[in-house]
Structure 1
Amino acid sequence: MRHNRKVKQPFVCQIVGYKNTGKTSLLASVLSILKAGGHRVAVIKHDAHGFDMDHPGTDTYKHREAGAEGIAIVSAGRTAVLEERAAGLDELIGRFDTYDCILIEGFKEAPFPKLVMIKEAGDTGLLGSLPCVAGAVCWPDMTEQVRRQFAGLTVYGTEDAERAARWIEERIKG
């Protein structure tokens, strides 16, 4: 007899904002708190500038330089896959379907709950233009302005990583 057991999907949450608004710092703080709470968390980061994770002199670098378009390296405690192609966000999320939570840095237009970083007044336009805004994370001199301008929106300060992590944790637990 075959059982249709429902598998719980990971909670996906985006941290978005303009450059140098504190996205990576907030994500790292929230990640540490969730990890300490026993949650398995994956991270997907968008890089608009290109990146290189491999370095001259390594075997995988030599493989890539020789023409490999896909490379996997595996050890007892780590797996890395490098591909010479862009991957879609849905594909990447699918690769992490066994985690409790997937934190995404960037991909502003994606349709997932998001915390928007607000450092200065010009950043507030994101709150009205992006899909699925769940809250704002504001630098100290912007907190009250955002609370007044966007009444009803959950607003955290940049020092409130613990509160933001608890909000995410509530959704993980479903």
Structure 2
Amino acid sequence: MNKPPVIQIVGYKDSGKTTLIGRLLPLFSGMNLRVAMIKHDAHGFEIDHSGTDTYAYRQHGAVAIAITSPYRTALIEEQETPLKELIERFGGYDLILVEGYKQEAYPKIVMLRSGEDRILLQELNQVKACVVRETETVENGKAANEILQTERAEHSPAQSAGAGQALLEGDFTAAPVVHFRADEIEKIAAWILSEAGLSPLAK
């Protein structure tokens, strides 16, 4: 079985990761692509609730529970699962989108709320693209999308040495990282397909 391509979407809290993914998924679904999502939550989460059988099983001591129907399967384990293992479980899908896991080494889209967030472009590996939230401003007062419009240049999406430092210093023209505004959803989707080596599937 061929492993599906993996694209990470990372950024600080409230940078727009979930919003972007929520806008991309319908586009990919409309292309007949089967997309799997993996989200990292550093603060813990709860998907089960009081009154369900699975909740009762956990309360009585079960440390792993699976529930399945003809339409859906859910697996709950009282442990963290490594990203690599989750990706292996999703081997039958066309594309895997990962929200979070900043330190993992898959191709990344970095969400930028403001100029201060550019530090991520230096600190993280495999940064291939960045998305600037159009409603934010940066230190010099220019809107983030204005920065992209006036300072970016067309270039190869391949990452090269020194690109992170160039972006950190605000030199968008020298860095081979693709830049998007947050409202350029179709362009972002097309870039992801290109980076993943995928084409829309026929209905």
Under a length normalisation based on structure 2, what TM-score does the superposition of the two structures give?
Answer: 0.79
Given that 1:115 and 1:134 are in contact with CA atoms closer than 8 Å, whether structure 2 keeps it comes out as yes
Q: 2:188 matched to which residue of 1?
A: 164
Please tell me the residue identity of whatever aligns with 1:162.
Answer: E
Q: Which stretch of the first structure deviates more once superposed, 138-147 or 127-136?
A: 138-147
- Name the CA distance, whole Å, in 2 between partners of 1:173 and 1:18: 28
Please tell me the residue identity of whatever aligns with 2:177.
Answer: L
Given that 1:45 and 1:104 are in contact with CA atoms closer than 8 Å, whether structure 2 keeps it comes out as yes
Unaligned runs of 5+ in 2: 135-142, 153-169
- Relative to structure 1, is the Cα distance of residues 154 and 144 closer, same or farther in structure 2, using a 3 angstrom cutoff? farther
Q: Give runs of aligned pairs for residues 75-94 of structure 1, distance below 5 A.
A: 75-94=69-88
Higher relative contact order (Cα pairs below 8 Å, separated by 6+ residues): 1
Residue of structure 2 aligned with 1:142, choices 141, 144, 164: 144
Given that 1:143 and 1:155 are in contact with CA atoms closer than 8 Å, whether structure 2 keeps it comes out as no
Identity %: 43
Given that 1:100 and 1:172 are in contact with CA atoms closer than 8 Å, whether structure 2 keeps it comes out as no
Unaligned runs of 5+ in 1: 1-6
Deviation at 1:144, TM superposition (A): 4.5
Please tell me the residue identity of whatever aligns with 1:150.
Answer: F
Given that 1:10 and 1:172 are in contact with CA atoms closer than 8 Å, whether structure 2 keeps it comes out as no
- Name the CA distance, whole Å, in 1 between partners of 2:197 and 2:50: 40
Given that 1:73 and 1:80 are in contact with CA atoms closer than 8 Å, whether structure 2 keeps it comes out as yes
Do residues 110 (structure 1) and 112 (structure 2) align? no
Deviation at 1:162, TM superposition (A): 1.1
Do residues 154 (structure 1) and 178 (structure 2) align? yes
Deviation at 1:32, TM superposition (A): 1.3
Structure 1 counterpart SS, 2:84: helix
- Name the CA distance, whole Å, in 2 between partners of 1:101 and 1:129: 26
Given that 1:34 and 1:169 are in contact with CA atoms closer than 8 Å, whether structure 2 keeps it comes out as no
The superposition leaves residues 22-66 of structure 1 with CA deviations (integer Å, 9 ceiling, x where unpaired) of 000001111111111010000000001100100000000000000
User: How many corresponding residue pairs?
Assistant: 168
TM-align CA RMSD: 1.4
- Relative to structure 1, is the Cα distance of residues 74 and 172 closer, same or farther in structure 2, using a 3 angstrom cutoff? farther
- Name the CA distance, whole Å, in 2 between partners of 1:90 and 1:105: 14
